[in-house]
């Protein structure tokens, strides 16, 4: 019997020794919420010494495993640790999902993106939280200009409107916390109503490939996202203060977050900014102060399979418009354009007088999601926005403090989205959107309304399919349809109505004829289709190639259709055209990218061909009771924009890098065979950055930015009659300013207060050499220089 037992034991040992232990276990680790691949996840096989981490592609591999059942612990610094039981039989593939949240406590950040790609076949340009904090006292537009291919259309230094690859206003869609901003973006001097301190991550899509957000983003999409909250019991926050020499003002912002392990969380945030008159190198820019206040509250409940969130924000901004840009007669206009200094220079003050803007924007949204097994993630969202825009002109008498323009825009939107993983290789995103919008112009301003009363209804539907062909190649295709109906009540001057031949073209929309006005009721319908087709190909370990072709279709906005009068804060008369059709843009973009620790770069050439392109340009000067103003008129043409953006980063030494950017865009009016107006000039920047995490995370940077002279521009000069001299004189509004070079310095250092709190001290200097210059894309360049040197002292404490 003992002999038999020994034989059995020996046979079992031989069987065990001959068992196949050359198997592998591989797979990916993804975010349970959005399917994003996670980097730096640690996987440990229990009771063994085997442990691996996921790489930048989110994959892992164990080797030398037997045919057996293993218990694997999966952990990540920003996730709840989970255990999984896996049966290995031969080479096995297994994917794991974790509840992934960014933890902001102690300023910990993850390498790589924490957000689902908005488009997988076009390179996303992002600005992270640390970079955004350097612009705490500025605006969203100031931060976006740090990206290649993104510039801005300025009205002075306080109104900064983002421009992507030469396009701006209604052609650039801004998504704020999942909500499309509806804040009368049609005006060239209407800045986004977003507090940059409420944003944790900024993403820019240079094109219309993000169909889930919009189909009319002819220029691109800007996505501002708030921070994710950990599913754990915690209380944390941060406060930032900036004091600036130019404008002699400061900005204060604070944010506090409370979260619970059961999924409940709340975040309260607020900002206060106050600056007086800013200064050029040689004089005060009178009436350019700013007073900004904002606050937001977010409350939510988040679990693995379902969640909901409510969000409310209020943003109020008072902005002074350069006093020297609003002038009297034609003689003053000629003098201003030829003078080297503004015609109005007063002593520094914090007062904001007319001309000025006073804008208040309310945003409220409630959204929820539910995951269904074998179906996907279903999300629903309702949002409401109210934008009240007041523009104050220089007036006298009883109307001195009355707004010359008073517009209220209310918007209601409902979104329903579904994201499904049809197979391991195919993902489908689809959704439907309905929107109701109402604009009311206060009739008691004593001034003719530039924008009429209207109601607008939108209906949109989209789908986007991603197909992972193999490990190297991903394909993406999508389509979107948008229907827009506008019901408008508009008073036209009889003389203007007849001069445009509207009495012959649109007699059916006349409601009533008055003494010198005609009341009309245009009812317009626009059917717009958009589409995208692209590919993402991995070329070896470091290289990647993106290709994207997109079609965007945009209905004309209310200003382009109905403007007929003085746009006060823009200091010009604007004339629209009722007969405009939709713009249709075809854009082809190619990106070649290399990424590694030593040398990274991406090259992004593109061409954007737009039929029915609506351009606004100066055509005349007109005398009114309120002064002498340029006349800008909208017209429709065929256009083409082509250019290239280049980013590069090279490690000069340990902790020291050289970052470079280059952007070029050329815009042409193909109907008239001439350049388009307001195209960004060529620009190049180089920045040397030293950052040492081992020495209080000290960071020093010096940036050299060179903007070339814009040599391609249309001739829009015209003559005006001078009654005083009985002569005609040329008004030169076409000539562009000279090239200029700016140096900017930035520094910061971290000081640990205790285990949970850290103080960051920073000093930033812009225009170090106090260079006098004028930016071609600044609408007030004909009246004054841009900003001089500015010292900004920053304090930030995390707690």
Residue spans of the domains in the chain: they are: 2-100, 225-798
Quote the CA–CA distance of 263 and 487 in Å, as a whole number: 45
Torsion of CA 193, 198, 202, 206, to 10 degrees: -10
Query: Which of residues 398 and 177 earns the better pLDDT score?
Result: 177
CA distance 288 to 591: 40
| Residue 98, pLDDT score | 83
**Mean pLDDT, residues 445-463 taken together:** 92
Token reading at 15: 């069987």
Give residue 79's pLDDT band: very low, low, confident or very high (50, 70, 90).
Answer: confident
Strands (E), 494-557: 510-513, 517-520, 523-539, 543-554
Q: From 413, 299, 406, select the one nearest 360 (Cα to Cα).
A: 406
Give the H/E segment covering residue 558: helix 558-562
- Average pLDDT for 146-157: 89
The pLDDT of residue 58 is: 79
> CA 1: distance to chain centroid?
82
pLDDT band at 330 (very low <50, low <70, confident <90, very high): low
Return the sign of the alpha-carbon dihedral for residues 614, 617, 619, 623. Answer: positive
Quick check: 422 pLDDT over 70?
Answer: yes
Residue 331 burial by Cβ neighbours in a 10 Å radius (0-12, 13-18, 19+): middle
705 pLDDT more than 80:
yes
18 confidence band (pLDDT: 50, 70, 90): very low
Distance of CA 744 to the CA centre of its chain: 23
The Cα 717–Cα 496 span in angstroms is 23
- pLDDT, residue 33, reads 60
Instruction: Give the percent of the chain with pLDDT over 70.
Output: 92
> Across residues 143-167, what is the average pLDDT?
90
pLDDT at 591 over 90: yes
pLDDT greater than 50 at residue 7: no
pLDDT category, 102, cuts 50, 70, 90? Answer: very low
Sequence-ordered list of residues with C-beta below 8 angstroms from that of 202, at least 6 positions apart, any chain: 126, 127, 132, 140, 143, 144, 222, 223, 224, 225
| Lowest-pLDDT range of 107-111, 305-309, 456-460, 557-561 | 107-111
- Least confident piece of the model among 117-126, 284-293, 660-669: 117-126
Residues in the chain: 799
What mean pLDDT is reported for the chain? 88
Highest mean pLDDT among 244-248, 417-421, 449-453, 717-721: 244-248
pLDDT by residue (tens digit) across 493-547? Answer: 999 999 999 999 999 999 999 888 999 999 999 999 999 999 999 998 889 999 9
Question: Rounded to whole angstroms, how far apart are CA atoms 72 and 87?
Answer: 11
Least confident of 174-178, 299-303, 475-479, 729-733: 729-733
| Cβ contacts of 547 within 8 Å, gap of 6 or more | 121, 534, 535, 536, 537, 589, 590, 591
State residue 611's pLDDT score.
97
Topology at the third CATH level for domain 2-100: Immunoglobulin-like (2.60.40)
pLDDT band at 309 (very low <50, low <70, confident <90, very high): very high
Would you state the pLDDT for residue 320?
Answer: 94
**304-308, 410-414, 721-725: least confident range:** 721-725
Residue 111 pLDDT > 50: no
Residue 16 above 50 pLDDT?
no
Comparing 99-113, 303-317, 482-496, 741-755, the range with the smallest average pLDDT is 99-113
Average pLDDT over residues 485-494: 94
pLDDT digits (tens, 9 = 90+) for 714-742: 988 877 777 777 888 887 888 899 999 99
What's the pLDDT at 2? 47
Percent of residues, the chain, with pLDDT higher than 90: 58
9, pLDDT greater than 60: no
Separation between Cα atoms, residue 780 and residue 189, nearest integer Å: 11
Say if residue 456's pLDDT is above 90.
yes
pLDDT bucket at 771, cuts 50 / 70 / 90: very high
Q: Which pLDDT score, from 0 to 100, does residue 377 have? A: 92
Confidence of residue 308 (pLDDT cuts 50, 70, 90): very high
**pLDDT(475) > 80:** yes
User: Is the pLDDT at 778 greater than 70, yes or no?
Assistant: yes
| Model pTM score | 0.85
Report the CATH architecture of 225-798: Beta Barrel (2.40)
- pLDDT given at position 101: 52
> 70, 86 in Cβ contact below 8 A?
yes
pLDDT digit string, tens, across residues 157-193: 888 899 999 999 999 999 999 999 998 888 778 889 9
Q: Is the pLDDT reported for residue 107 higher than 60?
A: no
CA-to-CA separations, 317 to 192, 244, 314, 359, 387, in angstroms, rounded: 11, 19, 10, 5, 12
Higher pLDDT, 648 or 69: 648
CB-count burial class (<10 Å; 0-12, 13-18, 19+) for 246: buried
The answer on pLDDT for 588 being more than 50 is yes
Average of pLDDT values for 397-425?
90
**pLDDT of amino acid 172:** 93
Whether 104 has a pLDDT exceeding 60, the answer reads: no
Residue 747's nearest CA partner among 722, 778, 729, 768 is: 768
Instruction: Give tens-digit pLDDT for 593-645.
Output: 998 889 999 999 999 999 999 999 988 877 666 666 778 899 999 999 999 99
Decide if pLDDT at 312 tops 90: yes
Q: What is the 3-state secondary structure (H, E, C) of 663-699?
A: EEEEEEECCCCEECCCCCCCEEEEEEEEEECCCCCEE
Q: Tokens 């900002």 label which residue?
A: 271
What would the two tokens of residue 69 be? 């059942």
- pLDDT band of 35, cuts 50, 70, 90: low
- Band (pLDDT 50/70/90 cuts) for residue 569 is low
Residue whose C-alpha is closest to residue 97's, from 46, 50, 27: 27
Q: Which pLDDT belongs to residue 755?
A: 80
**Average pLDDT over every residue of 139-150:** 89
């Amino acid at each position: 019997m003992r002999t038999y037992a020994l034989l059995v034991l020996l046979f079992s040992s031989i069987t065990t020794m001959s068992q196949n232990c050359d198997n592998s276990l591989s797979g990916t680790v993804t975010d349970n919420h959005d399917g994003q691949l996670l980097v730096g996840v640690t996987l440990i096989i229990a009771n063994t010494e085997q442990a691996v981490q996921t790489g930048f592609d989110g994959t892992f591999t164990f080797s030398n495993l037997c045919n057996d059942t293993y218990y694997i612990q999966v952990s990540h610094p920003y996730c709840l640790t989970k255990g999984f039981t896996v049966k290995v039989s031969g080479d096995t593939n297994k994917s794991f999902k974790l509840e992934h949240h960014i933890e902001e406590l102690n300023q910990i950040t993850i390498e790589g993106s924490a957000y689902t790609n908005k488009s997988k076949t076009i390179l996303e340009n992002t600005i992270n939280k640390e970079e955004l904090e350097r612009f705490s006292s500025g605006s969203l537009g100031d931060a976006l200009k740090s990206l290649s291919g993104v510039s801005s259309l300025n009205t002075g230094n306080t109104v900064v409107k983002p421009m992507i690859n030469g396009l701006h206003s209604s052609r650039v869609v801004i998504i704020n916390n999942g909500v499309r901003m509806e804040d009368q973006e049609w005006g060239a001097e209407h800045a986004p109503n977003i507090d940059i301190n409420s944003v944790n991550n900024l993403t820019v899509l240079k094109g219309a490939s993000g169909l889930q957000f919009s189909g009319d983003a002819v220029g691109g999409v800007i996505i501002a996202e708030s921070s994710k909250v950990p599913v754990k019991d915690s209380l944390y926050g941060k406060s930032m203060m900036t004091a600036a020499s130019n404008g002699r003002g400061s900005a204060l912002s604070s944010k506090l977050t409370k979260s619970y392990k059961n999924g409940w969380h709340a975040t309260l945030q607020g900002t206060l900014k106050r600056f007086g008159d800013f200064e050029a190198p040689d004089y005060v820019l009178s009436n350019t102060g700013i007073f900004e206040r904002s606050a937001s509250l977010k409350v939510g409940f988040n679990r693995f399979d379902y969640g909901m969130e409510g969000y409310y924000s209020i943003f109020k901004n008072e902005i002074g418009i350069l006093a020297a840009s609003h002038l009297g007669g034609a003689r003053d206009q000629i003098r201003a354009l030829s003078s080297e200094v503004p015609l109005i220079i007063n002593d520094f003050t914090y007062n904001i007088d007319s001309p000025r803007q006073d804008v208040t924007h309310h945003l409220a949204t409630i959204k929820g999601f539910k995951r269904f097994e074998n179906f996907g993630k279903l999300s629903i969202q309702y949002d409401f926005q109210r934008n009240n825009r007041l523009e104050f002109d220089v007036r006298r008498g009883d109307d001195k403090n009355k707004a010359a323009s008073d517009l209220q825009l209310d918007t209601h939107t409902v979104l329903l989205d579904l994201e499904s993983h049809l197979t391991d290789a195919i993902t489908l995103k689809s959704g439907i959107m309905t929107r109701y919008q109402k604009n009311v112009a206060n009739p008691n301003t004593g001034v003719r309304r530039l924008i009429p009363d209207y109601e607008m209804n939108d209906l949109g539907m989209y789908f986007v399919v991603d197909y992972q062909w193999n490990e190297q190649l991903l394909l993406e295709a999508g389509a979107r349809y948008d229907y827009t109906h506008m019901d408008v009540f508009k008073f036209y001057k009889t003389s203007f109505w007849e001069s445009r031949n509207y009495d012959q073209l649109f007699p059916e929309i006349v409601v009533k004829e008055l003494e010198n006005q005609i009341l009309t009721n245009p009812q317009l319908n626009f059917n717009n289709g958009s589409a995208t087709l692209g590919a993402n190909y991995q070329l070896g370990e470091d290289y990647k190639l993106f290709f994207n072709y997109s079609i965007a279709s945009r209905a004309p906005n209310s200003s382009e259709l109905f403007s007929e009068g003085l746009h006060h804060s823009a200091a010009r008369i604007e004339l629209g055209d009722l007969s405009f059709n939709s713009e249709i843009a075809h854009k082809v973009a190619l990106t070649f990218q290399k990424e590694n620790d030593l040398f990274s770069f991406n090259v992004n050439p593109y061409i954007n061909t737009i039929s029915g392109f609506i351009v606004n340009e100066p055509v005349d000067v007109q005398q009114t009771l309120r002064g002498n103003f340029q006349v800008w008129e909208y017209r429709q043409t065929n256009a083409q924009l082509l250019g290239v953006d280049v980013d590069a980063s090279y490690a000069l030494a340990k902790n020291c890098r050289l970052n470079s950017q280059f952007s070029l865009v050329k815009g042409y009016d193909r109907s008239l065979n001439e350049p388009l107006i307001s195209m960004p000039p060529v620009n190049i920047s180089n920045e040397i950055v030293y950052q040492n995490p081992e020495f209080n995370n000290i960071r020093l940077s010096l940036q050299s930015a060179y903007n070339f002279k814009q040599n391609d521009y249309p001739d829009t000069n015209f003559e005006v009659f001078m009654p005083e001299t009985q002569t005609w004189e040329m008004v030169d509004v076409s000539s562009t300013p000279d090239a200029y070079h700016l140096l900017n310095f930035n520094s910061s250092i971290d000081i640990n207060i205790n285990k949970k709190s850290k103080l960051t001290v920073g000093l930033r200097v812009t225009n170090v050499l106090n260079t006098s210059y004028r930016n071609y894309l600044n609408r007030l360049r004909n009246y004054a220089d841009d900003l001089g040197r500015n010292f900004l002292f920053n304090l930030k404490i995390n707690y």
